[in-house]
């Protein structure tokens, strides 16, 4: 039975069936992206909304989303296109666009400040083939390419897209294996490996959403920021860190928003190790 190699799950997918992410299928014995070119969300956004603070600040970027995700974050803010039942219904409803159409639209938006494309909203890499093909054409047209990702993808997938990506914002959702394994169904080591490789190849900024009682300790932030600082030393690049405020969403509505004081305190903790640390959602 064919095995998907996009992430650590290594889903075995029977002909015509769908993998865990809801976006990959088996056709004629080959694993392919069922969501290729299927867009659920398109918007011209400020680059800071990705968030990217140190990559073409003040510019706009055409942002694209499809459907599907390989994590199961109970606090997902885009659940309608990620992994809710509604998200999995998009496979029959999302409009199809060829990569060339997207690039032409991006070029038409240049007078409005658009610098390129951002692959975002759901997890783009569950349909990495569309990211690769579209980003390649965009780069040839002189556009910038941004990827907003959870970083839960294999080195093989990363190698396929890196030649065409100018910047990434990667979620570093916490800094414990327990959080990744038991709270969001992820793989901590895969994300760290992804960040390490990406940082060596393009501009990278990281985002950590602070959830009360889950990843809000000073000790965890100290360990996280120390790891990022070591990566900065290894690559010779500065890595901005966004520490953002949680608001109740999706399946996680049993706790209050993160106190602003908590965010500001953790920003100061992270600054013990890092130069560029930004509070978010406050």
Q: What are the Cα distances from residue 226, in Å, to 94, 118, 231, 262, 269?
A: 42, 29, 9, 19, 10
Q: What are the Cα distances from residue 206, in Å, to 27, 119, 144?
A: 35, 16, 19
> Which residue's entry shows tokens 């953790």?
266
Whether residue 224 has a cis bond before it, omega within 30° of 0: no
Distance of CA 22 to the CA centre of its chain: 16
Q: Which of 160, 150, 159, 165 is nearest to 71 (CA)?
A: 150
Each residue's pLDDT expressed in tens, for the chain with a length of 282 residues: 899 999 999 999 999 999 999 999 999 999 999 999 999 999 999 999 999 999 999 999 999 999 999 999 999 988 888 876 665 666 667 889 999 999 999 999 999 999 999 999 999 999 999 999 999 999 999 999 999 999 999 999 999 999 999 999 999 999 999 999 999 999 999 999 999 999 999 999 999 999 999 999 999 999 999 999 999 999 999 999 999 999 999 999 998 999 999 999 999 999 999 999 999 999
Domains of the chain: 37-280 (3.20.20.70)
């Amino acid at each position: 039975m064919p095995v998907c190699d996009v992430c650590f799950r290594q889903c075995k997918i029977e002909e015509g069936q769908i993998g865990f992410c809801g976006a990959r299928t088996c056709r004629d014995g080959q694993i392919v992206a069922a969501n290729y070119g299927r867009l659920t969300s398109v918007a011209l956004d400020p680059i800071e909304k990705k968030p990217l603070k140190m990559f073409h600040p003040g510019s706009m970027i055409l942002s694209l989303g499809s459907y599907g995700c390989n994590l199961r974050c109970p606090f997902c803010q885009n659940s309608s296109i990620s992994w809710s039942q509604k998200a999995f219904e998009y496979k029959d409803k999302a409009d199809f666009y060829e990569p060339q159409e997207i690039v032409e639209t991006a070029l038409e938006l240049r007078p409005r400040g658009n610098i390129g494309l951002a692959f975002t909203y759901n997890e783009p890499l569950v349909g990495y083939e569309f990211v690769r093909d579209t980003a390649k054409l965009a780069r040839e047209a002189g556009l910038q390419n941004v990827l907003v990702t959870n970083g839960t993808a294999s080195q093989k997938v990363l190698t396929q897209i890196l030649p065409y990506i100018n910047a990434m914002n990667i979620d570093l959702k916490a800094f414990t294996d327990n959080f990744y394994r038991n709270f969001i169904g992820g793989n901590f080591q895969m994300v760290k490996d992804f960040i390490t490789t990406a940082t060596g190849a393009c501009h990278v900024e990281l985002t950590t959403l602070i959830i009360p009682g889950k990843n809000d300790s000073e000790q965890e932030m100290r360990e996280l920021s120390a790891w990022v600082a070591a990566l900065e030393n290894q690559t010779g690049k500065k890595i901005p860190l966004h520490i953002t405020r949680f608001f109740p969403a999706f399946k996680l509505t049993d706790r209050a928003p993160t106190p602003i004081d908590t965010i500001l305190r953790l920003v100061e903790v992270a600054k013990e190790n890092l130069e560029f640390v930004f509070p978010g959602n406050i």
